[in-house]
Amino acid sequence: MESLTTTISVQIDRNDKELATAILSKLGLDMSTYINMAIKQLINKDGVPFEVVNPKPSRELLEAIQEGENILSGKVKAKSYNNMYEMLKGLKS
């Protein structure tokens, strides 16, 4: 059976393309080969072959963000340092 090919065109961020091309090059692949591999996996899995979710920040991250906002707003008093050495000395005491 003869294999027919077709062309697709996609818009992609220039920097993303450069980064992806560099990674693929290290793997001995080009963009066309990678896209064909990705499409074959999409077909084989009958869906996207990787998890597609909205990232949710962890509880720890949300707490850290809240703590930072409290410090910035003055709700919480935080010790400040003039340089790294003062900070390290403060951590030791």
Domains of the chain by residue range: 1-52, 59-92
Kindly state the helix (H) or strand (E) to which residue 42 belongs, with its residue range: helix 31-45
Question: What are the residue ranges in the chain where pLDDT is below 70?
Answer: 1
Extended strands (E) in 4-75 = none
Is-contact 50 42, C-beta < 8 A? no
Q: What does the pLDDT read at residue 1?
A: 62
Can you give the pTM of this predicted structure? Answer: 0.55
Q: What does the pLDDT read at residue 79?
A: 86
Residue 38 neighbours by CB under 8 Å, 6+ apart: 49
For the chain, the first-to-last Cα distance in angstroms comes to: 77
